[in-house]
Amino acid sequence: MRTIAAIVSMLLCSGPEAISQQKIDVDKQFSIAAKQYEGMLASHPDATKFPQSTKPDGSRDDRKSNWWCSGFFGGSLWHLFEYTKDPKWKTAAEKWTWAVEQEKFNKGTHDLGFMLYCPFGNGLRLTGNKAYVEPLVTGANSLATRFDPDRGVIKSWDKHADCSFTVIIDNMMNLELLFWAAKQTNDKRLYNIAITHADNTIKHHYRDDYSSYHVVCYDADGKIFRKKTAQGAHDTSAWARGQAWGLYGYVLMYRETKDKKYLKQAEEIAKFLMNHPNLPADKIPYWDYNAPLIPNEERDASSAAITASALLELSSYSEPMKDKYFSFAESILQRLSSDEYLAKEGNNDFILKHSVGHKPAKSEVNTPIIYADYYYLEALLRYKKLNSKK
C-alpha cells in the first residue's frame, strides 16, 4: 500500500508542473535532427540550391548562395558533427561550407557573418583546417567596405523604400565575423568598426524600455530621419526576431570585449523579453510582441531558438541572473523539443516547425526556416555543455 507521501509525490510529478522540471534529452533531440537532415541531404544533391523554407503550396523553397541564409545549412551540419563526432556529418558540412565560398567577395550585403562565419567559423573551430581562414578574412574585409565612418554604422540594405542608407538590428549578428578577423589579422580597424557600430546601435535603435526598432533610416546628409519596421507589425512594435538578434548581438559584444556596458545592454534586453506581458506561458513568442491580433497570431520558433541560445551564453556571464537565464532557456528548449514544434518526419526535412520570416509581406509565415534549425541545435549544444559543468 502506497504511503501518502508517495501518492503526493506521484501527483506532483504527473502534472504540467513536472514538465518544467524535466531535463532535455539532448541525445534524443540530436537523433531526431540527424534523421531529418539525412533526408535534407538526400533531397539536396545540388550544392547550389540551399534549403531555406517551405512554399505555401508545400514544396521546398531553395535559394542561391547569395541569399542571406545560405550559411545556416552548413553551420547546422557542423553542429551535428560536433555533437555526434560522426565523420559523415563532417563530409557533408565541408561540402556545404565550400558551397558559399564565393560570397567572400560579396560587398553588396551586410549578412556575411551569417553566410560565412556560421559554416567556415564552425568548421575552423572544430577541425582547425587553415583553409577556412582566408574566406573568413576576405569576407570580413568585404563586410567592412559597408561601414560608413561619418554615420558610424555598417549599411544594411542598398535599396529600401525611401531610405537611402538603412541600418537594421540584424546587423549586430555579423559583428562576430569582424571580431574574429581582427584577432586573426591584428587589424584594429575591424575591431573598431564592430565597436562603433554596436555603440551607435544602442544609441539609435533602442527605446527606453530596451526594445528595438527594426530599421533606422539615414538621409543623404547622414542624418537620421526615420525609425521604422520592415518585418514587424508597425514602426513602434517589438518585432520578435529583431529583439532576439539584439539580445544575441550584445551577448557576443560582451564576450568579445568584456565591456560591462554590453553586458548591461544584454541583461536589459533579456529583462524586456522575459517579462513581456504578451509573452505566452510556454515562452515561444508571437512573431511580434505587439502583433494586433494576439493571441490569434503565429508563434515564431526561430525567435525562441535564437533567444534560448543567447540566454544560455548570457547565463555564464551574469552571476546574479545565471539560474534564471538558464531556466528560461531550458523552458524554451523543452517546448521547442515537443511534438508541437519538433518534426520527427516530413516538414520537408527541416527540424523545427512554426517560424515566421516576413509576415507583412506574407512570406514564410508559420513554416520551417533554416535559421531556426541552426540556433536550436546551437542552443542544445550550449545547454549540454553548461549541464556538464554543474
- Hey, which residues are catalytic here? 111, 170
Radius of gyration of the chain (CA): 21
Give phi and psi for 364, each to the nearest 5. 55, 60
Paired strand residues for 228 = 215
| Cα separation, 83 vs 126, whole angstroms | 11
**Ramachandran assignment for 319, one of left (phi > 0), alpha (psi -120 to 50 degrees), beta (any other):** alpha
- Residue 382, SS3 per DSSP: helix
DSSP assignment of 234-301: STTS-BHHHHHHHHHHHHHHHHHH--HHHHHHHHHHHHHHHT-TTS-TTS--BSBTT-TTTTSS-B-H
DSSP assignment of 26-59: HHHHHHHHHHHHHHHHHH---TTSEEEEE-TTS-
Q: Cβ distance 299 to 307 under 8 Å?
A: no
Identify residue 189 by its one-letter amino acid code. R
Q: How far apart are the first and last CA of the chain?
A: 37
Q: What is the dihedral of CA 192, 197, 202, 205, to 10 degrees?
A: 180
| Cα separation, 299 vs 240, whole angstroms | 9
| Cα separation, 325 vs 271, whole angstroms | 10
